[in-house]
Amino acid sequence: MPVLDLLSSRTSTHTRSARIALVGNPNTGKSALFNRLTGSRQRVGNYPGLTIERKSGRMRLRGRDIDVLDLPGLYSLAALSPDEQIVLDVLSGEAKGEPRPDLIVCVVDASNLTRNLFLVSQVAEVGVPMVLVLNMWDAAEATHTTVDYKTLSARLGVPVIPTVASKGRGLDELKRAIAQALDETPRMESVSWPQPVEDAVACLRRGLGDIDDREFSDVALRRMLFDVEGSVIRDSVSHDERSRERIDKARGHIQEGGWDPTQVESLVRYGWLETLLRDIQETPSKPRRSFGESVDDLLTHRVAGVIIFAAIMYVVFQSIYTFAAPFMDYIDAGFSWLGSVVGSALAGTPMLQSLVVNGVIAGVGGVLVFLPQIVILFLFITLLEDAGYMPRAAFLMDRLLGWCGLSGKSFVPMLSSYACAVPGVMAARTIQDPKARLTTILVCPLMSCSARLPVYVLLIGAFIEPATGPVVAGLVLFAMHFVGLAIAVPVAFVFNRIVLKGKRTPFVLEMPPYRVPQMRDMAYRVWSRGREFVINAGTVIFAMSIVIWALSYFPRSAEVAESVRQAEVTTLAATEGISEESAALLIDDDPSRAAVLESKTEAAYLETSYLGRAGQAIQPVFAPAGFDWKITVGVIASFPAREVIISTLGILYNLGADVTEEDSNLVTAMQRATLSDGTPVFSPLVAIALMVFFALCSQCMATLATIARESNWQWAAFTFVYMTALAWLGAVAVYQVGSLIV
Amino acid sequence: MILPALHQVKTTASSDSEVSVPGEYLALEKVRAGDEGFLWFVGAADATVQRLMSMGLIPGAFVKVVRVAPLGDPIMLEICGYQVCVRRREAAALAIRRSGATTPTGTE
């Protein structure tokens, strides 16, 4: 009979593909192991909690296809956050559309065995076959920690394999053990609970039997008894109010037995672990101070730590600025060249030419120009993450950001957003707490990104510097970079209080040891980030560029061009005292006059385009901020990408679309621009109002698309609405209050 | 790794009369860098404290306050050979019994 059983189980497991899941504490090298097993290169970082979502891959083992699931790291099955819930769902077979895994590969840090095995003992009780991996074996050896893994295997009843996943050591043994375990289904010995706990479980099962149709496992019932707060107890109590009573009654058994129900689990498990590991594990009694600890003394020092932190951030920020500039120029020049080549090739079909050159190439190129910044930023982030610096930065910054609902981990994404909110929002993935992560994502676009800089430079150069001199102009530029940050903190506070109701999740962060980053992993991650960004530019930005182009191009009636030409000819004829025919000839023959006419025609087209009409219709909305309809058009046109305002203002002020922020002609044209009553359009006050608007407004399709991908479209829409509202309020406040003072 | 024998810590700490004795226990809310001792409970365990317990911060375990963040919070603790940081307020239910003291005992 046993032989028959064995045979039947063998045939059944051989005929189908198997599923295994990697489970373990954060930062134990699960993702590195996953990459080694499946050959895929999922990101691996020295930062607890990098696997925010589940990743799955496939490996072939002895002719069998095996799905490998990489689950988020967690410390306990008392799931508090959504990523921990994922693990619980997968283990209990309650994940949507997914059967329970056939085998759990528990990955533990060999140098921190006791704490890691706490989770393993919980997982064992779920009753799924298990293989135990003692990863980072080399790090344990380095600290003279020895583990008699053969005895451990004998005591637990499951295979125990030492590995060094980052270097690929022990993988063959692991694969062999996995293949064997899939056939033999070894189950791990776990904690035997004291009688009061067993009584309480039985009592609770009886108690819930009357009021709840669901069948609860011992594991689920114990979670209800032990956890003060957690998904299992939340579900059961919300199901029926009486459940709370039954749970309290059952807890009485534990209390009568002399245990505190909130402490009994940890005490019993750690007690069991102590017995389990007796004579197996040897740790140096007095560990000598490691190099990492001395580094830590410096990096997390009250004074030096903060200075070093500021210095590192300055270097990152400055490098992004400096190193990216030449590459950005190349890309920009490349797209200009492409535009001119394609432009002349399509000269015969002006509409197609405009679509491709002004729409697609200008739109996509305007975004791709930020690729070097993205690459450099992610190079630094990856380096800091892999080396293990990020948790230290989070430790330093937690107090500064914690009060408003952000966490120390929010700081890096926010800082990244000073270069570009797109990688900043992506960097928020490192925040485990979903609420703090969402808050961070929502405030990241408020940081003054590099695309705002051209707008500031243009407006300060035109209106602030002439009035106040270069020192104040420099200060204003500096201040503009602080507006967003200053607003972000109270905004985050409000989000947490009003929008994202609920309790603030605690800050419990493990400090991983420092590690030398692996070049291969780093290069891959930077590459995959860059690729993601380019794909985004090729899809979302591409589509948006065409839409905006169409709105600013059509209807483009011939009458518009004709009336502009007629007006120009009439004016020239009047000023020069010549006939209209000669004036027309003069315009056609003189290239500079022809260029002026063309610019004016473009401006007229824009004015009568759907976008132009919209600008005039919407202008009353922006009147309290002192914007005329042209600025309004510029503001509206720059919603897909804020830099667009420069080329838009260029068109509107009759200078053609091809101007840069240093173009003094645009500056003089804007300085000369007057309203119909003769007063100048721009004053320093209008310029500041406009800059505040740009500082706070969500004018970046790429960012909104990224927010949508990192959260969902509703939150992207919310970001757009709140930032636009904030920008309008800010601009109006500046203009109205300023008007009273000036 | 110093762990108390089970019978010694079995008693409910949160209702322990001993905790009211001042001076003996130093609340984690008030510790300074360099303080060390055996962990003890002076309040009820909430979800955060339960999480810390599952990470090894159980009554009787030896902890050391490695460092304190610039503005006095959070604090970094060393326990079981690794380091973890917590906010003071979130660890308010925990206290340490200064070194030199024996492994804490219950009221049994």
Say yes or no for a CB contact (<8 Å) between A228 and B41: no
Task: Write the burial class of residue B4 (CB in 10 Å: 0-12 exposed, 13-18 middle, 19+ buried).
Answer: buried
Pick the closest to residue A141 from A161, A164, A173, A115 (CA basis).
A164
Distance from CA of A207 to the nearest CA of B (A): 24
When CB atoms are compared, the residue of B1, B50, B67 closest to A283 is B1
Closest CA to A424 of A475, A381, A393, A459: A381
DSSP chain B: -----HHHH-S-STT-GGGGSBTTEEEGGG--TT-EEEEEE-S---HHHHHHHHTT--TT-EEEEEEE-TTS-SEEEEETTEEEEE-TGGGTTEEEEETTSPSP----
The full set of domain ranges for chain A reads 2-184, 195-281, 557-608
Tokens of A337: 């060249």
Which token pair is A532?
A: 């993601």
Q: What is the mean pLDDT of residues A304-317?
A: 80
State mean pLDDT over A256-270: 91
Contact B12 A230 (CB under 8 A): no
> Tokens standing for A102?
């056939």
Q: Predicted confidence band at A288 (pLDDT cuts at 50, 70, 90)?
A: low
Q: Do A78 and B54 touch (CB under 8 A)?
A: yes
| Interface membership of A115 toward B (CB under 8 Å) | yes
CB contact (8 A) between residue B47 and residue A80: yes
pLDDT at B27 over 70: yes
In a domain, B12, yes or no: no
Quote the DSSP letter at residue A107.
E
Question: Domain for residue B18, yes or no?
Answer: no
pLDDT at A497 over 60: yes
When the pLDDT of each residue in chain A is averaged and rounded to a whole number, the result is: 81
Percentage of chain A surpassing pLDDT 70?
A: 86
CA distance A321 to chain B (A): 29
- Residues of chain A positioned with their CB less than 8 A from the CB of B51: 75-76, 78, 80, 506, 508
The pLDDT assigned to A504 comes to 61
Those residues whose C-beta lies under 8 Å from the C-beta of residue A387, and which sit 6 or more positions away, are: A46, A514, A515, A516, A517
Q: Is the pLDDT of residue A53 over 90?
A: no
CA gap A160, A170 in Å, rounded: 11
Cα–Cα distance list, B73 to A78, A204, A672, B45 (Å): 26, 41, 55, 20
Find the helix or strand (DSSP H, E) in which A146 lies: strand A146-147
Output b/e per residue, B19-35; b: 16+ Cβ within 10 A: beeeeebbbbbebeeeb
Residues 6+ apart with CB under 8 A from A655: A599, A663, A665, A666, A669
pLDDT band at A4 (very low <50, low <70, confident <90, very high): very low
> Does B72 contact chain A (CB < 8 Å)?
yes
Distance of CA A633 to the CA centre of its chain: 31
Q: Tell me the residue type at A688.
A: I
**How far away is chain B from the Cα of A506, in angstroms, using its nearest Cα?**
6
B83 has a chain A CB within 8 A of its CB: yes
* Correct CATH for A2-184 of 3.40.50.1820, 3.40.50.300, 3.40.50.720, 1.20.1070.10: 3.40.50.300
Angstrom CA distances, A243 to A186, A202, A230, A316, stand at 35, 14, 15, 54
Q: Does any CB of chain A come closer than 8 Å to the CB of residue B32?
A: no
* Band (A49; pLDDT cuts 50, 70, 90): very low
Q: Residue A442's pLDDT band (boundaries 50, 70, 90)?
A: very high
| Residue A274 forms contact with B (CB below 8 Å) | yes
The length of chain A, given as a count of residues: 742
Residue with more model confidence, A251 or A677: A251
Q: What is the pLDDT of residue A696?
A: 94
Nearest to A165 by CA among A33, A274, A313: A33
Task: Count other Cβ atoms within 10 Å, centred on residue A313.
Answer: 18
- Any chain A CB within 8 A of the CB of B48? yes
The Cα angle at residue A290 between residues A285 and A291, in degrees rounded to 5: 175
Q: How many C-beta atoms surround the C-beta of residue A305 within 10 A?
A: 21
Distance of residue A374 Cα from the nearest chain B Cα, in angstroms: 31
**Cis status of the peptide bond prior to A350, with omega within 30 of 0:** no
Tell me which chain A residues have a C-beta less than 8 angstroms from the C-beta of B6.
267-268, 271
Residues in chain A with CB shorter than 8 Å from the CB of B66 are 296
Residue predicted with more confidence, B9 or A379 = A379
Kindly report, residue by residue over B39-64, the tens digit of the pLDDT: 988 888 888 888 899 999 988 899 99
Residue of A710 and A116 predicted with greater confidence: A116
- A-chain residues near B19 (CB < 8 A): none
pLDDT given at position A112:
87
Q: Residue A544 above 80 pLDDT?
A: no
Which of A169-173, A278-282, A543-547, B26-30 bottoms out in mean pLDDT, i.e. has the lowest?
A543-547
Is the residue at B9 inside a domain? no
**Chain A residues inside the 8 Å CB shell of B87:** 398, 402, 506-507
Residue A293: predicted pLDDT:
74
pLDDT higher at A61 or A663: A61
In angstroms, the CA A507 to CA A496 distance is: 16
**Contact check, Cβ <8 Å, B87/A402:** yes
Show which of residues 119-138 on chain A sit within 8 Å of chain B, judged by CB atoms. 119
* CA A16/CA A12 separation, integer angstroms: 7
DSSP state of A161: E
Least confident of A222-231, A576-585, A673-682: A673-682
Is residue B17 in a domain? no
ipTM of the complex: 0.78
pLDDT for A285? 59
What does the DSSP assignment read for A114-137? HHHHHHHHHHHTTT--EEEEEE-H
pLDDT above 50 for B1: no
The count of other CB atoms within 10 Å of the CB of residue A238 is 10
Structure tokens at A128: 């799924």
Instruction: Retrieve residue A403's tokens.
Output: 């009060």
Instruction: Give the lowest-confidence range in A247-261, A670-684, B84-98.
Output: A670-684
Mean pLDDT of A327-337: 84
Residues 6+ apart with CB under 8 A from A645: A455, A634, A635, A637, A638, A694
- A290 contact B CB<8A: no
What the block records as the tokens of A365 is 């190129």
Helix (H) or strand (E) segment spanning residue A139:
helix A137-142
Distance separating alpha carbons of residues A306 and A309, to the nearest angstrom? 5
Residue B64: both structure tokens together: 């050391």
* In chain B, residues 3-22 whose CB comes closer than 8 Å to chain A: 3, 6, 9-14
Quote the domain boundaries for residue B40.
Answer: 25-98
A393 pLDDT tier (thresholds 50, 70, 90):
confident
Q: Please state the rounded mean pLDDT for residues A614-632.
A: 88
Q: Which of B1, B46, B70 sits opposite A396 (nearest CB)?
A: B70
CB A269 within 8 A of CB A215: no
Please give the pLDDT value at position A96.
Answer: 66
Q: What is the pLDDT of residue A287?
A: 56
Domains: count for chain B: 1
pLDDT reported for residue B16: 43
Asked whether the predicted pLDDT for residue B7 surpasses 70, the reply is: no
Instruction: Please state, in angstroms and rounded to a whole number, the distance separating the CA atoms of residues A609 and A165.
Output: 61
A vs B, Cβ pairs < 8 A, gives 148
Report whether pLDDT(A172) > 70: yes
Q: Which residues contact A622 (CB under 8 A, 6 or more apart)?
A: A631, A632, A635, A728, A731
Please give the full DSSP string across A15-80, using - where no structure is assigned: HS-EEEEEEESTTSSHHHHHHHHH-------SSTT---S-EEEEEEETTEEEEEEEPPP-S-SS--
What does the block give as tokens for A609?
A: 């385009």
With a pLDDT cut of 90, the percent of chain A lying above it is 20
Name which of A591, A590, A600 is nearest A568 in CA terms: A600
The answer to whether the beta carbons of residues A270 and A219 sit under 8 Å apart is no
Position B86 in a domain: yes
Residue A79 has pLDDT above 50, yes or no: yes
pLDDT, mean of residues A577-590 = 81
Nearest to B71 among A75, A271, A399 (CB): A399
- Is some CB atom of chain A closer than 8 A to the CB atom of B75? no
B10 lies in some domain: no
CATH number of the domain within which B74 lies: 2.30.30.90
Band (pLDDT 50/70/90 cuts) for residue A657 is very low
Exposure class string for B85-104: b at 16+ Cβ within 10 A, else e: bbbbebbbbbbbbeeeeebb
Is residue A43's pLDDT more than 70? no
Between A325 and A148, where is the model more confident?
Answer: A148
pLDDT, residue B22, reads: 46
Where residue A404 falls (left for φ over 0; alpha for ψ -120 to 50; beta otherwise) is alpha
Whether the link from the prior residue into B70 is cis, omega within 30° of 0, is: no
Per-residue pLDDT band at A196 (split at 50, 70, 90)? very high
Highest mean pLDDT among A521-525, A533-537, B84-88: B84-88
Q: Using the beta-carbon criterion (under 8 Å), do A260 and B76 form an inter-chain contact?
A: no
DSSP-H helix ranges across A227-303: 231-239, 242-256, 264-277, 291-299
Among chain B residues, the shortest Cα distance to A289 is held by B81
Q: For chain B, give the number of residues.
A: 108
Burial class from Cβ neighbours inside 10 Å (0-12, 13-18, 19+) for residue A195 reads: exposed
**Coil, helix or strand for A357?**
helix
Torsion (CA) B46, B48, B54, B58 in degrees, nearest 10: -70
The string of DSSP letters for A471-520 reads HHHHHHHHHHHHHHHHHHHHHHHHIIIIIS-SPPPP-EEEEPPP-PPPHH
In this structure, are residues A105 and A131 in contact, taking their beta carbons and an 8 Å threshold? yes
Residue B5 maps to a domain: no
How would residue B11 be classed by pLDDT, with cut points 50, 70 and 90? very low
The predicted-structure confidence for B77-106, as pLDDT tens digits, reads as follows 998 888 899 999 888 888 988 754 444 443
CA nearest B70: which of A393, A406, A385? A393
- Asked whether the beta carbons of A691 and A630 are under 8 A apart, the reply is no
